């Protein structure tokens, strides 16, 4: 079992959590999925801009393959870095506030 960890949160409140190995693995997987989604959104936008900016289908195709290769390599490197050098513990938000407004008819 891992020792308790102390997290310093905003407003000067601290939280002590006992995190077992499976929780840490789930937290790492969650972080890796989040990073992958964000990087994928980024290079999808870059490809959209490149398609407009680059003349010629062949030139765009070459640029697209290079962007995809570099982006996928970056995702793999980030995941490897998280696995080998980081201990990750996901701390869910304390509460969610849902505001419902009713429209006047």
- pLDDT band (50, 70, 90) for residue 4: very low
Name, in order, each residue with C-beta under 8 angstroms of 77's C-beta and a sequence gap of 6 or more.
Answer: none
Contact 28, 86 (CB under 8 A): yes
Tens of pLDDT along 68-91? Answer: 999 999 999 999 999 999 888 888
pTM beyond 0.75, yes or no: no
Exposure on the CB side of residue 60, measured as CA atoms within 13 A: 12
* Angstrom distance (rounded) from CA 85 to CA 83: 6
Task: Give the residue among 23, 2, 4 at the shortest CA–CA distance from 90.
Answer: 23
Tens of pLDDT along 5-24? Answer: 444 444 444 444 444 567 77
- pLDDT band (50, 70, 90) for residue 57: very high
């Amino acid at each position: 079992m891992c020792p308790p960890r102390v997290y310093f949160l905003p407003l000067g409140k601290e939280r002590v959590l006992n995190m077992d190995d499976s929780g840490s693995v789930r937290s790492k997987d969650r972080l890796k999925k989040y990073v992958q989604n964000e990087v994928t959104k980024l290079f999808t936008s870059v490809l959209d801009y490149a398609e407009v900016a680059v003349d010629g289908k062949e030139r765009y195709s070459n640029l697209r393959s290079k962007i995809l290769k570099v982006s996928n390599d970056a995702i793999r490197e980030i995941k490897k870095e998280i696995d080998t050098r980081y201990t990750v513990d996901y701390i869910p938000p304390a509460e969610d506030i849902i505001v419902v407004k009713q429209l006047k008819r």
